[in-house]
Structure 1
Amino acid sequence: MTDQTHSKFSQNLLWRLKILTFTSGAVVMGLEIVTSRILTPVFGSTIYTWGSLIGVILSGLSLGYYLGGKLSDKHPNFEKICGIVFSVGLFIVGIPFFASSVIDFSQYVLPVPQYTPLLATFLLLMFPSVLLGFVSPYVIKLGTSSLHRVGNISGNLYSLATVGSIFGTFTTVFVLIPNLAVNQIIFGLGIALVGSSLIGLKISPKIIAMAIVVTLIIPWSSLSINTISHNGTLIFEKETLFSHLDIIEFGDNRSLYLDGLRHSSMNMDDPLDLVIDYTEYFHLGMMFNPTATNILFVGGGGFTGPKNFLDLYPQTKIDVIEIDSDVIDVARDYFNLEKNSRLQIFNDDARKHLSTFEKKYDLIILDAYASNYIPYHLMTDEFFKIVEKRLEPNGVVVSNLIGSIEGNNSPLIRAVYKTMQGTFPVSYIFPTEDNPAFVQNIMIVSSNEPYEFDRKLLLEIAQSSPIDYLDDELQEKEHFYEGLVDVSDVPFLTDQFNPSEVLFNPITQSSFTQDFQNSLPKENQHREDMVNLGLGISLSLIGLVWVIYFKKKVWIVSEK
């Protein structure tokens, strides 16, 4: 081989190595981000979930760098590293089919809130992370033709891997997640790796790759593959910037689900009816302050509360702060949210908005909490002081929280109660279930005005009101908590110290949010299960063919 021919061969190899390096860097970061959309509906968007994702990816890459370096010194071969990347791509393509089983297994063998997401993340991402870690040391070995160029080549390839990671991060966050379903993104990441690896593989892997693509693009694969099954009939689905959004119909009810949990329901025959019981407790604010005219809802959902208040209290003007623009859009398209001169909607983060918006309110209803997500910046002393500044002197705050007042699941509720007491001189607690130890919606009503109410007085107000809500509830003493709330063992929550995930991890408990879901029949679920099973079996057979080929035609041959 002449020097010129050798130079052209080296340049051609270097470009192929660069393609492999860039793609691997992009996919590993894209996979980390999109996997959060699989884990969050089950484990919540907590420090444990994100810590597990970051830690497992870094651990896998570190181990991969070490093992890949040793392997590249023994038998450096471009076809072998391409085969390894092909294997990772095939594994990633299969993630949507076995993720649910992995999560179920993790919850069964390690039912500890702090560590369950770590085990699930390890089982899902450790293998691809380790193998993708092989790429950097391997391509440097292959790309370095002489010792005096090792610094230049390694610097270029490491830089390219980092650029790929940046590209994968931004593309996944700003392009893929807002426009594609999670399973489609994962399939795309896997196919991207498979496609990049073909530059160093022969004809048989290309046929296998074509079989993978054909399997995934057939009409079957348009069905949803999620870790949480849909109940009822799915009529709309979208990955928003903040969550996985589903609109489900069952009988006369239409429900909004975010990350698999119901946030709002509407009776299609009576759109203004309050289907979910806890929303009736929003009217406590009007019982405390019947002259309220300016009302703010923090959290929109299906806009059940705002619509109901607009209809029942014609003297009021309603503002709503909702952080997710897609939630606002589906409320208009699917939940009869109509234009109203008395309704103003702000698409913004509540704390940011209230910090800059000077308007004051007679009633503020905080309904931004969920059973799988704790917006910690909306439950600190600093936030409640901002809320207090936006209240009129006789203004009232109704805060909807999820947890319990007594027992093992009570620390978060008691910590928020303790924190609110630092701002508001009076606070009342209204459980929505009969047992204070149950995980449930709990309303904390606070104010600067020293309102003096007991359950009988509130019951008299409810019975004399033309608004037919809370009459039955307040007849039961369990819905007006009169016990002493012990706050001695819980922290005062601040921006600097807010261990909210440690205090309570609602998603690990059997809560009221599951009752409605479990009571619904899974329409079309059998068909989806059969199709998903067919896809899984097809990909497993393709994977088996690839493993046999890789072992006999790539791994062993390259070591001879």
Structure 2
Amino acid sequence: MAVPAFASVRPSKPDLAVFISGVTSMGLEMLAMRTLAPEFGNHIYTVGGILTVLLAALSLGYWQGGKRAAVATNRQMSWLMLATAAYVGVVVFASDILLTYTSTLALPARYASLPAVIVLFGPPTYLLGFISPYAAELSKKEGTGEASGHVYALGTIGSIVGSGATTFVFIPALSIDGIGLLFGLMLVGTALILIVPELPRRPTAASVLVALALVGAAAGGPALFDIDHRGEVVYETQTPYQQLEVIDNGGERTMYLDGAQHSALDLDQPDRHVFTYTKYFHLPMLMSDDIEDVDRVLFIGGGGYTGPQDFADQYNATVDVVEIDPSVTDAAEEYFGLEDPEQSDDINVHATDGRQFLQRTDETYDVIVLDAYKKEQVPFHLTTVEFMELVSDRLADDGRFHANVISAPNGPAAEFYRAQYRTVQEAFPDAYSFRTSDSNNVQNIEIVATNDDTAFDEAELEARNDARAETMGVDLGSAIDNRLDEPNTDDAPVLRDDRGEVDSLLDPMLGQRYVIEESADDGGGGTEADTEPAEPSAAITADSNHGARATLVG
């Protein structure tokens, strides 16, 4: 009795084909997000574009497959699997070339990723769409309804496995090319199983050739793209959250997250603030009544830990850092001089979400620095009035909050800045903002809010800077000069948990040049950068007239 029971549940060859097509189609979808993020960002338009294109390709495959299903065979499904595997090899080998060419097409920024998605991931997804109707036609189930339901269930289970395995196992453990190779070989293996035991010569030979091509594609891409014009890549990895790279260029080391600069270190002068905005992190200390009373500081977002290390060196304070990505902390320890947090007396690291940490901790902080935003990737739950009120609750009565906001100071691209400023005002008595560049481009705008009434004017800030510059280790005179007038927020929304408005506010910044001012010495400030239009995704470094550089990221 046991043998017939087992045989009745043993999957057939079409069942296996449906399951593997589900695994690879959803796996490729997850892989598409990681492949495109460094070039186009990981914002809602990239994610939405991937979902739209791949669902359309899958639907077209279902339709075409249904029309041809009457003549379906296992051998035809084997050829479909091999064709899909071959195209995955093309993606592995030439994704950099295709991304570069498609990114130069003259499209509005919100649609810029669509050609890349169509070219890279549309064809393999379309081919996989044929498998389900073919398998339903070949199914031994009685009736159309039972066969269709069986195929839908197997395909969905495969998609669940593909999504979960790619997200929680493959991406943390393998490179993008390695994951593509794995999916390709999985398809080749399934293609062979579909034709056993006969193993006809042509599909068998094709399977061997495709497998060899996949291995060759993963082993190395075109020589043109072995050269990184940003400098020497000393470390790179795919983390569960993002692509992480450490790149040396001349005497400077920079951490890139999803292709965007996040921290920099002068290898010859480690104490120098390479990026001007990291100097501005000391503004809360300038506004504190007594630096010696600042005992506890929290950074939400670690990056290369240049800010937390600077605070630990300059002040007699314990610095807590919430960095959600442990790989970022490991890279900071290996390449940016961070002391082993488990052995440090000054810096404590917490690998969790910033808001969750604040909800769970009973610690009170004198200064909280929020440095978790990217130009086109802003965690909305760290922008809302509910979050700002939570920050205020975790601050001392005279505590200071500092937010590193990426936006333009005025114009259409300033919508996010104005909304964030108004939201901060809802939770704090006083707020101040400081631009880091003399240009009107998208840049780092520092918002400092106080938990008590302060009303600092420029003269008072200058007097405090004169008295404290040596103690703080930085001269904030240029920051004070760059103080912005309070923006007009009459038409700006208050950001709330129940309204996801952040993406629409970031929309005007898509495709705009992002300026990161770079100081030539520790006492210098930001300078005005060239504001001519740049091609999307181009990175330009321009020498200024005042001894500093501005890194311009399109």
Asked whether the two chains share a fold, i.e. TM above 0.5, the reply is yes
Amino acid at match of 2:475: L
User: Are 2:456 and 1:450 aligned?
Assistant: no
Separation (CA, whole Å) in 1 of partners of 2:359 and 2:36: 32
Separation (CA, whole Å) in 2 of partners of 1:455 and 1:228: 48
Aligned match for 2:429, one of 422, 425, 428: 425
Residues 514, 138 of structure 1: CA spacing in aligned structure 2 closer, same or farther, 3 A cutoff?
A: farther
Q: Is the 8 A contact 1:431 1:443 kept in 2?
A: yes
Structure 1 residue 12: Cα displacement: 13
Residues 51, 218 of structure 1: CA spacing in aligned structure 2 closer, same or farther, 3 A cutoff?
A: closer
User: Are 2:349 and 1:345 aligned?
Assistant: yes
Structure 1 residues 127-206: aligned runs within 5 Å: 127-144=123-140, 148-198=142-192, 199-200=194-195, 202-206=200-204
Structure 1 residue 139: Cα displacement: 1.2
Q: Is the 8 A contact 2:421 2:447 kept in 1?
A: yes
TM-score when normalising by structure 1: 0.83
- Relative to structure 2, which stretch is displaced further, 91-100 or 105-114? 105-114
Separation (CA, whole Å) in 1 of partners of 2:254 and 2:19: 42
Deviations 1:205-256 (A, max 9, x none): 3333333433443598257998995622222211111001111122332221
- 1:531 corresponds to which residue? none
Separation (CA, whole Å) in 2 of partners of 1:263 and 1:118: 26
Q: Is the 8 A contact 1:228 1:260 kept in 2?
A: no
Structure 1 residue 122: Cα displacement: 3.0
Separation (CA, whole Å) in 2 of partners of 1:517 and 1:56: 28
Indicate the percent of aligned positions where both proteins have the same amino acid.
33
Separation (CA, whole Å) in 1 of partners of 2:236 and 2:118: 28
Separation (CA, whole Å) in 1 of partners of 2:465 and 2:30: 48
- 1:287 corresponds to which residue? 286
Structure 1 residue 190: Cα displacement: 2.2
Residues 394, 172 of structure 1: CA spacing in aligned structure 2 closer, same or farther, 3 A cutoff?
A: same
Q: Is the 8 A contact 1:38 1:227 kept in 2?
A: no
Separation (CA, whole Å) in 2 of partners of 1:223 and 1:461: 56
Amino acid at match of 1:88: T
- 2:323 corresponds to which residue? 322
Amino acid at match of 2:329: I
- 2:27 corresponds to which residue? 30
- 1:535 corresponds to which residue? none
Separation (CA, whole Å) in 2 of partners of 1:107 and 1:253: 28
Structure 1 residues 15-414: aligned runs within 5 Å: 15-73=12-70, 75-144=71-140, 148-198=142-192, 199-200=194-195, 202-218=200-216, 221=219, 229=228, 231-289=230-288, 290=291, 291-313=293-315, 315-338=316-339, 339-414=343-418
Task: Specify the SS of the correspondent of 1:364.
Answer: strand
Deviations 1:172-195 (A, max 9, x none): 011110011112212221232233
Separation (CA, whole Å) in 1 of partners of 2:86 and 2:377: 32
Structure 1 residue 156: Cα displacement: 3.1
Higher relative contact order (CA 8 A, sep 6+): 1
Amino acid at match of 2:117: T
Structure 2 residue runs of 5 or longer lacking an equivalent are 519-537, 543-554
Structure 1 residue 388: Cα displacement: 0.6
Separation (CA, whole Å) in 2 of partners of 1:49 and 1:332: 32
- Relative to structure 2, which stretch is displaced further, 28-37 or 486-495? 486-495
Residues 368, 164 of structure 1: CA spacing in aligned structure 2 closer, same or farther, 3 A cutoff?
A: same
Structure 1 residue 124: Cα displacement: 2.7
Separation (CA, whole Å) in 2 of partners of 1:473 and 1:94: 51
Separation (CA, whole Å) in 2 of partners of 1:372 and 1:397: 23
Separation (CA, whole Å) in 2 of partners of 1:196 and 1:380: 48
Residues 332, 361 of structure 1: CA spacing in aligned structure 2 closer, same or farther, 3 A cutoff?
A: same
Structure 1 residue 197: Cα displacement: 1.5
Q: Is the 8 A contact 1:64 1:134 kept in 2?
A: yes
Structure 1 residues 494-509: aligned runs within 5 Å: 494-505=496-507, 506=509, 508-509=511-512
Task: Specify the SS of the correspondent of 1:114.
Answer: helix
Deviations 1:2-48 (A, max 9, x none): xxxxx9xx999972212211111100000000110012223322222
Higher helix share: 1
Amino acid at match of 2:129: G
Deviations 1:88-130 (A, max 9, x none): 1211221144434544455444532332234432333222222
Q: Is the 8 A contact 1:366 1:398 kept in 2?
A: yes
Separation (CA, whole Å) in 1 of partners of 2:417 and 2:359: 24
Amino acid at match of 2:514: S
User: Are 2:438 and 1:440 aligned?
Assistant: no
Structure 1 residue 422: Cα displacement: 0.8
Q: Is the 8 A contact 1:295 1:363 kept in 2?
A: yes
- Relative to structure 2, which stretch is displaced further, 397-406 or 448-457? 448-457
Structure 1 residue 361: Cα displacement: 0.7
Separation (CA, whole Å) in 2 of partners of 1:107 and 1:517: 13
- Relative to structure 2, which stretch is displaced further, 205-214 or 165-174? 205-214
Structure 1 residue 150: Cα displacement: 4.4
- 1:4 corresponds to which residue? none
Residues 286, 112 of structure 1: CA spacing in aligned structure 2 closer, same or farther, 3 A cutoff?
A: same
Q: Is the 8 A contact 2:188 2:210 kept in 1?
A: no
Aligned-residue RMSD, C-alpha: 2.8
Q: How many residues align?
A: 504
Q: Is the 8 A contact 1:85 1:193 kept in 2?
A: yes
Separation (CA, whole Å) in 2 of partners of 1:241 and 1:233: 24
Task: Specify the SS of the correspondent of 2:427.
Answer: coil
Deviations 1:314-345 (A, max 9, x none): x2111111100111111122221113212211
Q: Is the 8 A contact 2:280 2:476 kept in 1?
A: no
Separation (CA, whole Å) in 1 of partners of 2:363 and 2:369: 15
Separation (CA, whole Å) in 2 of partners of 1:238 and 1:137: 39
Residues 235, 273 of structure 1: CA spacing in aligned structure 2 closer, same or farther, 3 A cutoff?
A: same
Q: Is the 8 A contact 1:99 1:227 kept in 2?
A: no
Residues 368, 25 of structure 1: CA spacing in aligned structure 2 closer, same or farther, 3 A cutoff?
A: same
Task: Specify the SS of the correspondent of 2:445.
Answer: strand
Q: Is the 8 A contact 1:264 1:302 kept in 2?
A: yes
Structure 1 residue 152: Cα displacement: 4.1
- 1:553 corresponds to which residue? none
Residues 228, 57 of structure 1: CA spacing in aligned structure 2 closer, same or farther, 3 A cutoff?
A: farther
Amino acid at match of 2:351: N
Structure 1 residue 168: Cα displacement: 0.8
Amino acid at match of 2:258: D
Amino acid at match of 2:474: Y
- 1:525 corresponds to which residue? none
Residues 100, 499 of structure 1: CA spacing in aligned structure 2 closer, same or farther, 3 A cutoff?
A: farther
Structure 1 residue runs of 5 or longer lacking an equivalent are 1-6, 521-560
Task: Specify the SS of the correspondent of 1:254.
Answer: strand
- 1:533 corresponds to which residue? none
